[in-house]
Amino acid sequence: MTNRTILITGGSRGIGAAIAHEFAAAGDRVAVHYSSAATDAQKVVDSLAGSGHIIVQADLRDPEAIKAMVDSVAQEFGVIDVLINNAGVFFDHPIESSTYQEWQQAWSDTLGVNLIGAANVTWCALQYMPKNSTSRIVNIGSRGAFRGEPVSPAYGASKAAIVAFGQSIAQALAPMKIGVTTLAPGFVETDMAARLLDGPEGDGIRAQSPFNRVARPEELAKAVHFLASAESEWASGAVLDFNGASYLRM
């Protein structure tokens, strides 16, 4: 299915940028959302195949900014066929060593973007989604939802919650023919992860997978593209573990 309109949150780099390239290469028009990296977002759009792509800005902790951002996408594109909730933040805040102020701020910012922000973007985008089998919502979760994140418990909690959110709205939106899925990756080779992957912990991180590497953004993009396809309808409500067998669960 091509010639759809796609909104990708957190699309200015890494996984989001790779997803934008994948959809654009298939003939879709893409709205690349960013929070503060306007220059990076514009570079992504300028590098996409095809034409008609746009950048849009919003702090996902701000409900009114989200609504204005989604409204602007719909005004430009007419409809929003696919939403990819990719934006996410990760802050170190181990409970045993964080101050109370640091603890509170990390939880507020993490849930504000990763969970509440994603939920608000979804509500707003739904107002412009065609009620047919080409409409899809794909949430980017994490293996941390299942294995735990001791250094960033708010991140683990937010990703567990986005799984439950996705399953809840998958049931709610099925009568509208809108499929909802979640991709749960492990470590991905991005700028955000480079500090760890290039440091002394890098070899240990790669060794978590029996393939002895981490995922490439382009691999995630192809998985997301399938989950957003018309052929993925029967996967609605599912969570796709995508971690190179680095974390296995029943």
CATH number for the domain harbouring residue 155: 3.40.50.720
pLDDT score at 2: 59
CB-side exposure of 61: number of CA atoms within 13 Å?
A: 12
Within-domain flag for 130: yes
pLDDT score at 194: 84
Within-domain flag for 250: no
pLDDT score at 151: 97
Contact 199, 156 (CB under 8 A): no
Within-domain flag for 169: yes
Within-domain flag for 84: yes
Contact 120, 66 (CB under 8 A): yes
pLDDT score at 133: 86
Within-domain flag for 247: no
User: Domain range spanning residue 201?
Assistant: 5-242
| Portion of the chain with pLDDT greater than 90, in percent | 95
Is 34 designated active site?
no
Q: What is the pLDDT of residues 206-232, one digit of tens each?
A: 999 999 999 999 999 999 999 999 999
Apex 189 CA angle, 17 and 58, nearest 5: 35
Contact 189, 197 (CB under 8 A): yes
Q: What is the pLDDT of residues 47-74, one digit of tens each?
A: 999 999 999 999 999 999 999 999 999 9
Within-domain flag for 237: yes
Contact 22, 8 (CB under 8 A): no
The answer on pLDDT for 45 being more than 70 is yes
State the catalytic residue, choosing from 100, 128, 155, 247: 155
**Taking each helix axis from N to C terminus, what angle separates 118-126 and 63-77, rounded to the nearest 10 degrees?**
40
Within-domain flag for 143: yes
Chain centroid offset of residue 57 CA: 16
Within-domain flag for 249: no
Contact 29, 35 (CB under 8 A): no
Neighbours of 219 (CB within 10 A): 17
- In angstroms, the CA 19 to CA 7 distance is 10
Q: Structural domain tally of the chain?
A: 1
Contact 24, 48 (CB under 8 A): yes
- The arithmetic mean of pLDDT across residues 169-189, rounded, is 97
The answer on pLDDT for 193 being more than 90 is no
